[in-house]
Structure formats: C-alpha cells, structure tokens
Amino acid sequence: MKADSSFQTFLREELRGIRGHAPLVRIIDGTQGHRVRIEGRKVIMLASNNYLGLTDNPKIVEATKKAIDRYGVGLGCGRSIVSMRIQVELERRIAEFKRVEASLVFPTGYDTNLGAVWSLMNPETTLFLDEYSHASVFDGAKLGGAKVKPYPHGDMARLESLLKEPDKGKRRFVATPSIFPLEGDIAKLPEIAKLAGRHDASVYVDDAHAVGILGSHGRGSADHFGLHGKIAIQVGTLSKALASVGGYVAGSEELREYLFNRARPFAISTGHIAPPSAAAALAAIELLEDDDSLLKRLWKNASYFRDGLKELGFDTGNSETPIIPVILKDAQKTAAFSKKLFERGVLVRGFGPPTVPEGTSRLRTIVSATHSRAELDDALDAFAKTGKSLGLT
C-alpha cells in the first residue's frame, strides 16, 4: 500500500508539469477529413497530416473491407514465423514505388526509425544529424550507443566541418528529415548527399512528411531531387499522406534482410501491420500512381493558403510545403489564438516550448488536397479576425 501511494504521488506531481504544456485534445465524431465533426459542429481541419485527404477515400475504404474478408484482421504471430501475402505484397509495392530493391514494413513510423537506427548504429558508428530530426532517430541512436553529432538546422557549413573532424567511427551516417514537421521547409538533400559521399558517410532520409507529397506521384524526396541510388536508407510513414498505419524502410535487399532479423521493434514483436492497414496503404499507392491530380491540388492549396497568410501580415517562416507555421513567438498568445480559431470553426494546433525553441511559439497549419477554396478563404478570414482581436496584425 505504501509503495502504491508513493507511486500515485509521483504520478500526480509529474502530471502537474505535463498538464501545464498539454493542449486540449478534441474528440472527433465520424471520419477524419478536411472538415471534422467536433462537439456537434463541423470545423475546418488544419491540424492533420492527412495531406491528400485519403483517410475517408471511398476506393481506399472499399479496399480495406475486401482485405478483411480475404485476410481477416490480424496475423497473431511474429513475421519470422510466417508473413501474410498482403504484407509482403505491400513491401514489394513500396519498393517499386520508391524505385529501390526492397522494403520492410514496421508497425509505426516511430518504430521504423527506432528499429533501423538502433540496429544499424552502435558505438562504432557516428551519426551526423539535423538538430530538428524526429525524436525516434535520437531515441534509436541512444539505444544503439552511436556517437551523435547534431548540426544546427539546415547548416551545411557546420555539417561539413563536423564531417571533417577526426573520427574513429567505423561507419558514418548523415540523417535528416526531408520535410521538417514544424517548419515546413525542405532539407538540402543534394548538398547533404554530396557532402556525405565526399566524407564516406551513408545518407539516411526520413520521408515521413514527404512520401505522397514530394517527387513524381509522391515518390518522396529522392525522386524530387533526382537522387535515386544516392540515398542508402529511406524511411517513411504510412500514417500521414498514405492514410494508413505503419512505417517502412526502403533500400537494398541486404538492408531489408538485416532489419528483418536485427531491428528489435520488428524482429521480436507480434505487432505487425494488419491486413486492413496494409490494404489501405496499397490502395493509396495505387491511387497515387494512377493519378497525380490530388498531389497537384495539395500544392496549389498550400501556395494559396501561405500567400493568404503572408498577405494578412503573418510570419510563415521558411515554409515551402503544405506544412505552414504561423510564428507568433509568444506561447500564451499562440494558445489564445488557437482557442479563438476553434471558436470561429477552424482547428489548428499551437506549439510552444519545449517542443519548439523559446520565442518561436507557433500555430502549425497543414492544408490538404481536399480543402475547397471556400474553406481556405473561411480559414483565412478566421485568422484575420483573430489576429486583429489579439492585436497581432
């Protein structure tokens, strides 16, 4: 009893700190889309990574129903025992889509980075990485015991100087997200690949926000920059633009085999991608390959919305993608802005320290291909009114 009550005290004390930073989690009824139903009314959704609006796409929904009829809902064992046809078919299609030899699918994007970095990067490895890399990459490096050398966001001169420093590491990797989740800018991948090549390092790219968004038909950053064959490890998620759940590593056949056996979140788990999720990802890739009109609409919507915000006098930082921050600097004002926007029918998430550096608090807006012009105009109107009422524009 004593231990139990001190445990409860610990939780209560920790939660006091956590609750100070935690934003209100809204519950949506019905499907996720460009508009969502919350507390009985429809609000414009500008806070989701559902870039292409595929989460309720009829073709994808139908494909998942068929997959359940054919494969059921789960595997029930580790994939070192058996794999389902639909799981290996998804891996084959991802590899084809990404124009690499092979891929391996993990339960989440987080597990993908964690498992890949943890298993590939040990104390004999030096990992150079953009400071704004995802927590899963840092976590994997910590578990693997790699020597980590972060460089300031996008700073190629610093990356070069770090690569030139004497280093006893037997293997070297340079890792970066291709699209930065809170900035919406794109990594300088050609320069990174050149520097890595010159200094005997392999490139690890996290395409979580780029698959389905960058490159022809959404193939990702390697395709966007014409770097096929130059990126050793391409990681991505199935849970954002591809409207499913899961993550993947795409690269060589040997890389797949190594991770299949050594990446612990994959190799020692029975939690593998379920048939409906595999079917949804397969259908999303099919849809992207057949038709890039959604991709074009996404980019048009992004430019329209970003230009509109800039015209209203907001600071959108270095955004060049459908992720468009509105940098308000002050954490309190950011929280108040997000609350007022919701009252005006627009859902936008605010981010403050410690998620972003002090003095850079921001609203993060994310447009989708399926937002109509009228919805974007309504959202801009809500931004204009809220900005004025808070004395920010």
Q: What is the DSSP letter of 26?
A: P
In the bound state with ligand PLP, the residue whose beta carbon lies nearer, of 111 and 375, is: 111
The Cβ of residue 386 has, within 10 Å, a number of other Cβ atoms equal to 22
Minimum CB distance to ligand PLP, residue 217 (Å): 21
**In 22-108, alpha helices (H):** 58-71, 85-98
Minimum CB distance to ligand PLP, residue 132 (Å): 9
Cα–Cα distance for residue pair 138/130, rounded to 1 Å: 10
- Cis previous bond, 107, omega within 30: no
In the bound state with ligand PLP, the residue whose beta carbon lies nearer, of 142 and 385, is: 142
In the bound state with ligand PLP, the residue whose beta carbon lies nearer, of 210 and 392, is: 210
In the bound state with ligand PLP, the residue whose beta carbon lies nearer, of 32 and 199, is: 32
By DSSP bridging, strand 346-347 and strand 202-206 are unpaired
In the bound state with ligand PLP, the residue whose beta carbon lies nearer, of 33 and 109, is: 109
In the bound state with ligand PLP, the residue whose beta carbon lies nearer, of 206 and 223, is: 206
| Residue of minimal Cβ distance to ligand PLP | 109
Minimum CB distance to ligand PLP, residue 51 (Å): 12
Minimum CB distance to ligand PLP, residue 155 (Å): 18
Helices 109-120 and 253-262, packing angle to 10 deg: 90
In the bound state with ligand PLP, the residue whose beta carbon lies nearer, of 3 and 25, is: 25
Cα–Cα distance for residue pair 74/84, rounded to 1 Å: 9
70-77 contacts at long range (C-beta below 8 A, 24 or more positions apart) = 70/275, 71/275, 72/275, 73/274, 73/275, 73/276, 74/274, 74/275, 75/270, 75/272, 75/274, 76/270, 77/270
Minimum CB distance to ligand PLP, residue 352 (Å): 18
Residues of this chain that interact with ligand PLP (CB under 6 A) are 108-110, 113, 134, 136, 177, 181, 206, 208-209, 237, 239, 247
End-to-end CA distance of the chain: 56
Q: Which of 154, 96, 148 is nearest to 117 (CA)?
A: 148
Minimum CB distance to ligand PLP, residue 247 (Å): 5
Angle at 99 between CA 148 and CA 94, to 5 degrees: 80
Cα–Cα distance for residue pair 270/3, rounded to 1 Å: 33
Minimum CB distance to ligand PLP, residue 239 (Å): 4
Cα–Cα distance for residue pair 233/192, rounded to 1 Å: 14
Minimum CB distance to ligand PLP, residue 106 (Å): 9
In the bound state with ligand PLP, the residue whose beta carbon lies nearer, of 169 and 236, is: 236
Cα–Cα distance for residue pair 156/152, rounded to 1 Å: 9
Minimum CB distance to ligand PLP, residue 329 (Å): 23
**Sign, Cα dihedral of 242, 370, 300, 341:** negative
In the bound state with ligand PLP, the residue whose beta carbon lies nearer, of 208 and 356, is: 208
Minimum CB distance to ligand PLP, residue 131 (Å): 13
Q: What is the DSSP letter of 218?
A: G
**Is 81 exposed, middle or buried, given 0-12, 13-18 or 19+ CB atoms closer than 10 A?**
exposed
In the bound state with ligand PLP, the residue whose beta carbon lies nearer, of 283 and 376, is: 283
